[in-house]
């Protein structure tokens, strides 16, 4: 049986949606942040926003109103800050919606309604996965920078600097994300926030238990006094030993993680390869009830297997 022809009007609408999504992507995500505002270049000329700017601003404002009533819904500011993204949750969700539009149009043109749904889900899951990957990389880099930063702190305090001045110096000498977090601590304390609260927020945002220990050590020193540099030296030694054990565990579990990636990704890759190689044979899975049942059973088994493998390759120490 031949595949039904796609109406010309639907094809044109799909192309328009693709172009709209691409324009929104470049206007919201890849917009340069170093451009001098027109109000500074031409201070005496009133600048009217373009139609695209008004459209994106209204969309972002509507999404922000919805997000205020639902804290922690899908993507919030704390998650984006943890990933190091300098954008609003509404912008990220708007970008996700644009990508989902593109995926739905491309999927419908390639294989019909089911493929469109699969691509929409894949685009959304891919963007959330990318956000999680950025968060994981940022936390890992923060943990690697922590021992050297702690050594700079103790060196500055032994040279006679105060704690805040030592944190400021360490922020200037470190790379991101350590420099960003330490600079944020300094800026928050300058406007009157308590040092302990700022450091606790950094520990929660970066998921660093080691930095939480540093925060507790500094707070105890503020209450009882003593040689803070010596205390931080002992904390630094403990952190270095923990990092060494963490690297050993990571090396020993690398083979299991690679096996998990292959086992989870191979069925999905083969399914899409089958669609591209022999679309007529793949229609069994996308147009018949037994095919839907087989896809559902495969999804359930992949989910159960992925959860089981993730528990095996995630040792606790």
Domain definitions of the chain by residue range? 7-29+48-111, 138-240, 253-317
Per-residue pLDDT of the chain (317 residues; tens, 9 = 90+): 444 555 555 655 666 666 666 666 655 555 555 555 555 655 555 555 555 555 555 555 555 555 555 555 677 788 888 888 887 777 788 788 888 888 888 877 777 777 788 888 888 888 888 898 999 899 989 988 998 899 898 888 888 888 889 999 989 988 889 999 999 999 999 998 888 899 999 998 898 888 998 888 888 888 887 788 888 888 888 888 888 888 888 888 788 888 888 888 888 888 888 777 877 777 777 778 888 888 888 888 888 888 888 787 776 65
Q: Which option is the CATH number for 138-240: 1.10.3720.10, 2.60.40.10, 1.10.760.10, 1.20.81.30?
A: 1.20.81.30
What is the rounded CA–CA span in Å between residue 271 and residue 274?
Answer: 5
CB atoms within 10 A of CB 270: 11
- pTM above threshold 0.75: no
Q: Which two tokens stand for residue 264?
A: 């989870």
């Amino acid at each position: 049986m031949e595949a039904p022809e796609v109406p010309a009007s639907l094809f044109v609408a799909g192309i328009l949606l693709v172009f709209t999504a691409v324009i929104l992507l470049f206007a919201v995500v890849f917009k340069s942040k170093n451009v001098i505002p027109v109000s500074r270049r031409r201070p005496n000329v009133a600048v009217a926003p373009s139609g695209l700017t008004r459209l994106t601003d209204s969309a972002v404002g509507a999404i922000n109103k919805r997000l205020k009533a639902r804290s922690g819904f899908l993507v919030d500011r704390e998650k984006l800050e943890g990933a190091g993204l300098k954008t609003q949750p509404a912008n990220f969700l708007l970008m996700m919606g644009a990508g989902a539009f593109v995926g739905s149009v491309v999927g419908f043109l390639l294989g019909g309604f089911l493929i469109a749904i699969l691509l929409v889900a894949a685009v959304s899951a891919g963007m959330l996965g990318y956000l999680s990957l950025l968060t994981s990389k940022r936390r890992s880099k923060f943990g690697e920078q922590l021992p050297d930063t702690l050594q700079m702190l103790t060196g500055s305090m032994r040279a006679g600097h105060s704690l805040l001045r030592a944190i400021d110096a360490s922020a200037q000498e470190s790379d991101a994300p350590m420099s960003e977090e330490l600079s944020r601590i300094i800026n928050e304390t300058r406007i009157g926030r308590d040092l302990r609260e700022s450091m606790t927020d950094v520990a929660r945002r970066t998921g660093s238990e080691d930095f939480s220990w540093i925060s507790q050590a500094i707070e105890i020193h503020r209450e009882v006094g003593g040689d803070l540099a010596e205390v931080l030296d002992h904390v630094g030694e403990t952190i270095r030993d923990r990092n060494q054990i963490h690297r050993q565990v990571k090396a020993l579990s690398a083979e299991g993680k690679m096996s998990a990636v292959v086992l989870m990704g191979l069925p999905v890759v083969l399914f899409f390869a089958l669609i591209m190689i022999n679309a007529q044979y793949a229609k069994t899975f996308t147009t018949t009830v037994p095919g839907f049942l087989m896809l559902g059973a495969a999804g359930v088994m992949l989910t159960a297997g992925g959860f089981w493998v993730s528990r095996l390759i995630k040792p606790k120490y």
